[in-house]
Structure 1
């Protein structure tokens, strides 16, 4: 690793794999810079560890090429890819007094320096503090690990869970990452299919040792409804990808907001009334299609249209089984829905028929 300035906060990204993750990371970085008050002297270093440096060429970041062999080694012994987050942050903290590792599917609402104000000795900054470990007793992590954790006095049902979309620590507390990595290595065979194992092990490692702080007011972590937020970000990149730090690009960052686009209340009531004329199984599907087709004044909300349509079909198929192409055509040609969708109906039909064949 390169020696870096020690006095500035370190914002760290780990981005690899499909282009989508790099798009997310680029927008997250620009949103951090857009909220940075440089006139007040605010500054930070942004480190990107990635298998593809090219997407970051227009950004003021330090890129560290992450080859496949290194990342594979970070994921051993079980090939658990979230393990690399903790390994990376541990290495960064060997060089810097404090650092924040942030997931790519995030964007900032406020200055990123507000994150670092919450990173103090004796504390762990996470994205969000969740419920208690014992609240969901059907969870695999509860059923398979509770007795082990209690026997070793590592955790109990009152332990708060955390969302690790953000992990911020000082160097003095970096040992919590060694502990969390060891727990991942031990528990992965017992909870192989638990998607949240990584952040669960972080919660266990920090329990009774570190105070927890969260930052949902500073960043939006769009782990839910990801398709809609990705659509907004991709629209921003199509418009500003060549000049991501121009005045226009930074102004448009504020339009990529953390709200799912929804029509006004009266419009939604009208959509609901229309859907009542359709078979019960198709009502929610119709409303979601109409939500996506509404002419939102915000151009980045309008960019969510196809994501809404895809989600509508996904929800319908999940509830009632896969809809056949002819059934889909009949639904879209219902007189009320056909009239409401107007000129967009043919585009929606073509899009959904193509999606249904994937």
Structure 2
């Protein structure tokens, strides 16, 4: 642990539960420090609120261990777990002039100091500014809350939505968190299935009172295609977890990019041709398997192979329903697939048969 300075920017993480969230947080922190090193003399403090301090032992972060009772209290009165994001940021801002809370499923494209340059009095930093509230009138949040919000003058159809993968505020504007927490507590019973209620309440609390800024150019927030990005990060941790800030580790941070690995267009065309001999309902499945088998030059892109295979099976099931083990074997042992998969066929088959049984 390192001592915190009250005058330095505070980068805050809330990470608890399954190991994947801690893995995400560790890589996000490593990417922040790697990019910070590109700015001469730059400093910041990193605070991690977690139920498991062990993964952060090799990182210069101040770790706050949260017991189960505290975490449950932060999620009350309805057990809504995203409520704790606003509670912890409010707590940090009681002691520091500005802070940024960032989700674990992120990594930095540039120096984290660029985040703090956008945290100003009268301004809320979010990950991304979205479409207006009224742009999609079929959402649970629109159908369930529009009348109440309009009657009380809290929001209208022009209110911009926000993605709260990043929340940055100054101490002077921390009251917006009080308002968002109160709204979560009030509105949750009205829209209990609204997964994004937390960021919706943040947008509503800030509407007409704070300007908005976003930071998609500074961080990559991989809320989509999580499995592929987690595969990259897990490969990096297997290689560098013991020394996450070594020169080699920081060089490899830059190779964990924000692109989903896909073969070149000519190779994809070849995959398409090879799968034409398969039954039509299996062709897309086979192509996605082959994307995972491509020998990418980037080792962290190669690590995505099992995630590609899992996604291919998931997509097939969504389109066609369950794939039985015998059908899976026939598909993978088709002459065209045997030729395409080559030496990896048994690896792919073993992986997918195991996945299909769960």
Report the TM-score when normalising by structure 2: 0.98
Counting only pairs closer than 5 Å after superposition, residues 100-139 of structure 1 correspond to structure 2 as 100-139=100-139
Three-state SS of the structure 2 residue aligned to 1:40 is: coil
With 292-301 and 276-285 compared, the bigger mean Cα shift is at: 276-285
In the other structure, the counterpart of 2:223 is 223
Where 2:272 maps in the other structure, the secondary structure is helix
Q: Is the 8 A contact 2:36 2:43 kept in 1?
A: yes
The farther-off stretch of 2-11 and 217-226 is 2-11
For residues 32 and 234 of structure 1, what CA distance do their matches in structure 2 show? 17
1:104: Cα distance to partner?
A: 0.3
Q: Aligned-pair distance for 1:39?
A: 6.2
Partner of 2:278: 278
Are 1:77 and 1:185, in contact at CA under 8 Å, matched by a contact in 2?
A: yes
User: Can you list the C-alpha shifts for 1:283-326, whole angstroms capped at 9, x where unaligned?
Assistant: 11011100000010100000000000000000000111101111
Match of 2:203 in 1: 203
Match of 1:307 in 2: 307
Is the CA contact 1:3–1:95 (under 8 Å) kept in the aligned structure 2?
A: no
Partner-residue secondary structure (3-state), 2:99: strand
Relative to structure 1, the CA distance from residue 165 to residue 313 in structure 2 (aligned partners, 3 Å threshold; closer, same or farther) is same
Q: Which residue of 1 aligns with 2:69?
A: 69
Of 227-236 and 127-136, the range deviating more from structure 2 = 127-136
Deviation at 1:277, TM superposition (A): 2.4
- Listed as ranges, the matches of 1:209-288 within 5 Å are 209-288=209-288
Distance 1:186 1:281 in 2: 47
CA distance in 1, matches of 2:277, 2:124: 53
Q: Quote the Cα distance in structure 1 between the aligned partners of 2:70 and 2:91.
A: 13
Q: In structure 1, what is the equivalent of residue 10 of structure 2?
A: 10
Q: How does 1:47-62 map to 2 (within 5 A)?
A: 47-62=47-62
**Structure 2 CA distance, aligned partners of 1:49 and 1:347?**
39
CA RMSD of aligned residues (A): 1.1
Name segments (4+ residues, structure 1) moved above 6 Å. none
Question: 1 CA distance for matches of 2:3 and 2:54?
Answer: 22
* Residue equivalent to 1:142: 142
How do 1:320-339 residues align onto structure 2 when only pairs under 5 Å count? 320-339=320-339
Preserved CA contact (<8 Å) 2:10 2:100: yes
Gaps of 5+ in 2: none
User: Is it true that 1:293 corresponds to 2:293 in the alignment?
Assistant: yes
Q: How many residues align?
A: 357
CA-to-aligned-CA distance 1:38-61 (integer Å, 9 cap, x gap)? 662100000001111110000011
Which residue of structure 2 aligns with residue 184 of structure 1? 184
Aligned residue in 2 for 1:23 = 23
Q: In the TM superposition, what is the alpha-carbon distance from 1:213 to its structure 2 partner?
A: 0.4
Deviations 1:18-51 (A, max 9, x none): 1110000000000000001366210000000111
- The worse-fitting range, judged by mean Cα deviation, of 143-152 and 35-44 is 35-44
**Conserved 8 A contact 1:159-1:207:** yes
Q: Tell me how far apart the structure 2 counterparts of residues 303 and 86 of structure 1 sit (CA, whole Å).
A: 35
Instruction: Decide whether the 8 Å contact of 1:235 with 1:303 is kept in 2.
Output: yes
Change (3 A) 1:108 1:3: closer
Is contact 2:39–2:111 with CA below 8 Å preserved after alignment?
Answer: no
Distance 1:244 1:276 in 2: 45
Q: The residue matched to 2:215 in structure 1 has which SS?
A: coil
| Cα distance in 2, alignment partners of residues 301 and 137 from structure 1 | 39
1:275 Cα deviation after fit: 2.3
Q: What is the deviation of 1:256?
A: 0.4
Return 38-47 or 66-75, whichever deviates more. Answer: 38-47
Per the alignment, do residues 238 and 151 of structure 1 end up closer, same or farther by CA in structure 2, a change over 3 Å counting?
same
TM-score, length of structure 1 as denominator length: 0.98
Q: How does 1:157-176 map to 2 (within 5 A)?
A: 157-176=157-176
